[in-house]
Structure 1
């Protein structure tokens, strides 16, 4: 039996060889937040629960590893930036599998924003697979700014065995954003 305790973090590598030139930098930021001694939150990272895959691995090997990671995940954090591609990236496939096969709740984090109070207004950042699942309401998704407190709260609450998100376009209230000091 596979225990679903991890958070799968998904981002667009943007087809870059140098990870610093892609959205990988946001993944590294989250790892740093998780290691801070000033926070009581520790990220259980699904990427650390499966065999590492090099960028030169065959697509079938990569997909097999991703499926293994998704199967052990309790939710998926999707990082969206201005550069996220609409199609043609592994991110699109990851979202499809996370929602359709593994029924993972999505925590959609937008870089460059202090608050997310109208997620539909950010539809221009959604990869087509995410847009389809939000629009047909098959994805359970909460939309948040790429900020530590909002992210850790959502990761802790919205899981396969946790609190139900309650829809595809959910977001934290303005009061919650104020409480975190974001607005």
Structure 2
């Protein structure tokens, strides 16, 4: 499939079920980037090149424009992926979900904030670093682990990263697999 438009990218994700945003030898999945049929940055060219200038916004725009069809998240290893919603529900969630109680204290603290109200990344990071004294790296790792374990998700907003609980955004999937953990 030759991907040149956002609609082509949508069709690609629906066809392959799951793909990373960028290629890596550490995952078995193909990437959106390597399947986009636009030129890479040429020597002497300024900017990112057409391919990167397409893929970078598409990673946010696909779940924003097609929220019932395309999911953006992270998988084991911290790789950003796009996936078909049916694949998320039928395959990925049951195989990858981990209770927030199985994560470290910092991740649990971050989750509690997100569970109560939506937070943007900078506001949440500043609040957590102020409250806990953790480093930016520790915060980033804990937030990534919350995504991998399917406890938090980015809101389907192409403009900024706002965090919500997975249960709130995808209650149908959550309720299908998770009984009350309280």
Structure of greater Rg: 2
Classify the TM-score, shorter chain. 0.3 to 0.5
More helix, by proportion = 2
What TM-score does the superposition give when structure 1 sets the normalisation length? 0.32
What TM-score does the superposition give when structure 2 sets the normalisation length? 0.32
Kindly indicate whether structure 1 or structure 2 has the higher relative contact order, using CA contacts under 8 Å at least 6 residues apart.
1
